[in-house]
Amino acid sequence: MDKRKRRRIVGRTFTLLGLAAAATLIGLGFVPKPVRVSMGKVEQRALEVTVDESGKTRIRNKYVVSAPATGQLSRITLEAGDPVEEGMLVAQISPLVPQLLDTRTRAEAEARVEVAQANLQRTQSAVARAATAREFASSQTERSRKLRSEGGVSEQQYEEAEYQLRAADEELASTRLAERVSANELAAARAVLTSVRSGQGGASSVLDVIAPAPGRVLRVLQESEGAIQAGAPLLEIGDPRALEIVVDILTTDAVRVAVGASARIERWGGDYPLAARVQRKEPSAFTTRSALGVEEQRVPVVLDLVDPPERWAALADGYRVEVRIRVAHAADATVVPASALFREGGNWAVFAVREGHARKARVEVGLRNADWAEVAKGLELGDRVVLYPSDQVVEGVEVAAQ
């Protein structure tokens, strides 16, 4: 075979090999590639459902000290944050004789005495009711303690009984404090009436305004010396150690919140969450507007701090906090990441990964929060699912983890 013929055969061989390689590459280009997806896993864990809202701290009992009579107010030397004791002198009012001796002023002073007497009777009745409630809560707690030792009640029921007893103690202390405040107001009103009837002027007729309760000065509402009308607010007093949390919750969420439910206070400035408990729900909702201008119906929910005051000593009146109120809980639930769920008609569904392919599976969902959803039917422990399925993920498509 001559050289020319050999070169022709070699050239044809290389040409055929090149064509075969090109055909192979073109064929491989048409082979479908697996869709890259994020995957999650069905697992077993505790699941908690909460209502999350922003709230504010509030001092439980605030008292606005008002001028008991029209007169000349001396300058108030107290400042916000100063401690005060019950019965402590906080302001003085000198009489304006032409006004203190007229008939109208005398009638107003007598009316204030009657109102103060009625308030005292009302607070005394509240003390009696609170004492009865405290006695009942004490007996319930003692009964629960005995039954717990015999296995008759659960630990949660016993803790709820103890919480009711603590709440009754606080309510009784609050009503007794209100009774002392009413008694001081009555004494002040009687002093005004005595001064008006006597008609004496000068230093002997100066009215002493006293603090109705212990605590701290929250605000000084009238700093400057000058003439002042009866009933004008002078300063506000409260106890910063008696804090509660107020949260305005959507009415659709509030129906799931039970009195006594546990809660967590987060993002309050400390490095750890605070334990709290729902103390009461207000009986009436109000209308407000969201940041988007949508009308909403919300109801105030009041929470008590369960942790000792030493853990939240840095908190004060009007501080913003984040609140999580527990509405449901499962200690050992089969859950799937909530990002794997999507709607198919009126049902929930996921794409389960089986033998490297996406398979649509309908699931029955129980409890659900922002991160996890309880699966009652449709998946098994250990199953892998596609998270955030895109429009590329369809029934039967081959998938691979990102």
- Judge if pTM exceeds 0.75: no
* pLDDT, position 247: 95
The answer as to whether 27 is a domain residue is no
Pairing of strands 243-250, 262-266: unpaired
* pLDDT, position 201: 46
Contact 281, 301 (CB under 8 A): yes
Claim to verify: residue 189 and residue 125 sit in the same structural domain: yes
Claim to verify: residue 224 and residue 126 sit in the same structural domain: yes
* pLDDT, position 24: 64
Half-sphere exposure of 93 (CA within 13 A, CB side): 27
DSSP per-residue codes, 132-179: HHHHHHHHHHHHHHHHHHTTSS-HHHHHHHHHHHHHHHHHHHHHHHHH
Claim to verify: residue 325 and residue 304 sit in the same structural domain: yes
Q: How far apart are CA 236 and CA 58, in angstroms?
A: 14
Claim to verify: residue 112 and residue 216 sit in the same structural domain: yes
The answer as to whether 8 is a domain residue is no
Claim to verify: residue 146 and residue 287 sit in the same structural domain: no
* pLDDT, position 61: 85
The answer as to whether 180 is a domain residue is yes
Q: Where are the alpha helices (DSSP H) in 81-102?
A: 97-100
* pLDDT, position 202: 44
In the chain, the number of structural domains is 3
The answer as to whether 337 is a domain residue is yes
Claim to verify: residue 90 and residue 205 sit in the same structural domain: yes
Domain end (from 198, 221, 238):
238
* pLDDT, position 99: 47
The answer as to whether 391 is a domain residue is yes
* pLDDT, position 358: 87
Per-residue pLDDT of the chain (402 residues; tens, 9 = 90+): 566 666 667 666 767 776 666 666 565 455 467 888 888 899 998 988 999 999 999 998 888 888 888 888 888 889 888 999 988 999 988 876 544 455 667 777 778 888 888 888 888 888 888 888 888 888 888 888 877 777 777 777 777 778 788 888 888 888 888 888 888 788 877 777 776 666 544 445 678 888 888 889 999 998 888 888 888 999 999 888 889 999 999 999 999 999 989 999 999 988 899 999 999 999 999 999 888 888 999 999 999 999 888 899 889 889 999 999 999 888 888 999 999 899 888 889 999 888 888 889 899 998 888 889 999 888 888 889 989 988 888 888 888 887
Q: Which amino acid is at 143?
A: R
* pLDDT, position 123: 87
* pLDDT, position 168: 83
Residue 258: give its domain's CATH number: 2.40.30.170
Domain end (from 188, 207, 238):
238
Claim to verify: residue 95 and residue 231 sit in the same structural domain: yes
Could you say which DSSP state residue 118 is in? H
Domain end (from 209, 238, 267):
238
The answer as to whether 9 is a domain residue is no
- How far from 242 is each of 59, 60, 192, 214, 313, CA to CA, in Å? 6, 6, 32, 12, 11
Claim to verify: residue 96 and residue 227 sit in the same structural domain: yes
Q: Where are the alpha helices (DSSP H) in 204-250?
A: none
Nearest to 176 by CA among 223, 226, 136, 214: 214
Q: How far apart are CA 180 and CA 213, in angstroms?
A: 8
What domain range includes position 41? 36-47+331-401
Claim to verify: residue 75 and residue 176 sit in the same structural domain: yes
Contact 366, 49 (CB under 8 A): no
Claim to verify: residue 184 and residue 276 sit in the same structural domain: no
The answer as to whether 30 is a domain residue is no
* pLDDT, position 134: 85
Claim to verify: residue 367 and residue 323 sit in the same structural domain: no
The answer as to whether 23 is a domain residue is no
Q: Which amino acid is at 21?
A: A
Residue 180: give its domain's CATH number: 1.10.287
Claim to verify: residue 321 and residue 355 sit in the same structural domain: no
Contact 399, 390 (CB under 8 A): no
